[in-house]
Chains A and B, each alone.
Chain A
Amino acid sequence: MSREPLVIDGYLLQASSGETILDAARRAGVEIPTLCQHERSGTKGLCRLCLVEVEGWRRPVPACATEAIAGMVVHTESEGLKRLRRVLLELLALETNLEHDKKAQGLLARYRARPERWGAPLADRREREPLQDNPFFAREYDKCYNCRRCLDACAEGIQGVWAYSFVGRGNKALPATPLDLPMAEAGCVFCGNCVQVCPTGALAPLEEVLLAEGER
Chain B
Amino acid sequence: MIPLRLEPDRVVSTVCPYCGVGCRVDLYVKDEKIYRVMAREGPPNYGALCVKGRFGLGFLGHRERLKQPLIRRRKGAQLEPVSWDEALDFAAGRLSKIAREHGPDALYFVSSAKASNEENYLMQKLARAAVGTHNVDHCARLCHSSSTAALSRSLGGAAMSNTIEEVGLADVILVVGSNTVETHPVIGAMIKKAAANGSFLIVADPRRTGLAEAAQLWLRLKPGSDAVLFGAMARHLVVSGRFDHPFVQKRVSGFREWLASVDGYTLDFAERGSGVPAAKIRQAAERYGAARAAAIYWAMGVTQHSHGTENVQSLINLALLTGQLGKPGSGLNPLRGQNNVQGAGDMGALPDVYPGYQKVSERRARKRWAALWHTRLPEGSGKTMTEAFESVERGALRGVYLMGEDPVTSEPYQDHVRRILDKLDFLVVQDILKNETFPYADVVLPAASFAEKHGTFTNSDRRVQRIRPALRPPGNAKADWWILSEMGRRLSARLERGRPQSWRYSGPEEVWREVRRALPEMLGGVSYDRLEREDLRWPCPNENSPGVSILFTKGFATADGKARMLPAPWKPPDETPDDAYPLVLSTGRVLYHWHGGTLSRRSELERVYPEMKVEVHPADAARYGVKDGESVWVASRRGRIQATVWVTDRTPEGVVFAPFHFAEQPANKLTLNAYDPTSKIPTYKYAAIRLEPLAEPTGES
Contact = CB atoms under 8 A, between A and B. Distances in A.
A192 B35 contact: no
B591 A200 contact: no
Interface in B182-221: 185, 189, 192-193, 196, 214
A160 B193 contact: yes
Q: Which are the 3 A-B pairs with shortest beta-carbon distances? A: A201-B3, A212-B5, A100-B3
A192 B49 contact: yes
A211 B48 contact: no
B35 A191 contact: no
B4 A135 contact: no
B3 A211 contact: no
B3 A204 contact: yes
Given A136-B55, A158-B48, A191-B48, A200 B36 contact: no
Interface in B125-173: none
Interface string B18-60: 0000000000101101111111000000111111001100000
Given A103-B1, A136-B55, A192-B37, 17 more contacts: A106-B1, A135-B608, A159-B48, A189-B185, A189-B591, A190-B51, A190-B592, A191-B48, A191-B50, A191-B189, A192-B55, A193-B47, A201-B5, A207-B36, A211-B6, A211-B33, A216-B33
- Central interface residue in A156, A195, A200, A207, by most chain B CB within 10 Å: A207
A83 interface: no
Given A134-B608, A136-B604, A216-B33, A158 B196 contact: no
Contacts of B608: 134-135, 184, 190
Interface string A192-216: 1101111111001101110110001
Contact of A135 (B31, B49, B607): B607
Interface string A123-146: 000000000001111000000000
Interface of B: 1, 3-6, 28, 30-31, 33-39, 46-51, 54-55, 181, 185, 189, 192-193, 196, 214, 591-592, 604, 607-608
A208 B47 contact: no
Nearest to A160: B192
Contact of A205 (B36, B46, B607): B36
Given A160-B189, A160-B193, A205 B48 contact: no
B101 to A, nearest CB: 52
A121 to B, nearest CB: 19
B47 A201 contact: no
Interface in A128-178: 134-137, 156, 158-160
A136 B3 CA distance: 17
B214 to A, nearest CB: 7
A112 interface: no
B109 to A, nearest CB: 37
A40 interface: yes
A196 B51 contact: no
Nearest to A156: B196
Given A184-B608, A191-B185, A208-B36, A160 B51 contact: no
Interface string A33-47: 000000110000000
Contact of A192 (B33, B46, B51): B51
B589 to A, nearest CB: 14
- Central interface residue in B6, B38, B55, by most chain A CB within 10 Å: B55
Contact of B50 (A189, A199, A204): A189
A198 B34 CA distance: 19
Contacts of A199: 1, 3
Given A100-B3, A212-B5, A40 B607 contact: no
A181 to B, nearest CB: 15
A101 interface: yes
B6 A193 contact: no
A148 B655 CA distance: 42
29 contacts: A39-B47, A100-B3, A100-B5, A136-B51, A136-B55, A137-B55, A156-B193, A156-B196, A158-B193, A189-B51, A189-B181, A189-B185, A189-B591, A190-B51, A190-B55, A191-B54, A192-B49, A192-B51, A196-B49, A197-B47, A198-B3, A205-B35, A207-B33, A207-B35, A208-B36, A211-B6, A211-B33, A211-B35, A212-B6
A135 B605 CA distance: 8
A135 B604 contact: yes
Nearest to B604: A135
Contacts, number: 104
Nearest to A184: B608
Interface of A: 39-40, 100-103, 106, 134-137, 156, 158-160, 184, 189-193, 195-201, 204-205, 207-209, 211-212, 216
A102 B3 contact: yes
A97 B621 CA distance: 52
A196 B604 CA distance: 18
A16 to B, nearest CB: 20
Contact of B6 (A103, A191, A208): A208
Contacts of A195: 54
Contacts of B46: 40
Contacts of A212: 5-6
A200 B604 CA distance: 24
B192 to A, nearest CB: 4
Contacts of B192: 160
Contacts of B30: 211
Given A160-B192, A189-B50, A196-B49, A201 B604 contact: no
A192 B185 CA distance: 12
A97 to B, nearest CB: 11
A13 B539 CA distance: 39
A15 B33 CA distance: 47
Given A134-B608, A160-B189, A160-B193, A205 B55 contact: yes
Contacts of A196: 38-39, 47-49, 54
Contacts of A198: 3
A205 B46 CA distance: 20
Contacts of B50: 189, 191
Contacts of B3: 100-102, 198-201, 204
A195 B48 CA distance: 10
A135 B36 CA distance: 14
A157 to B, nearest CB: 8
B5 A209 contact: yes
Nearest to B185: A191
A17 to B, nearest CB: 18
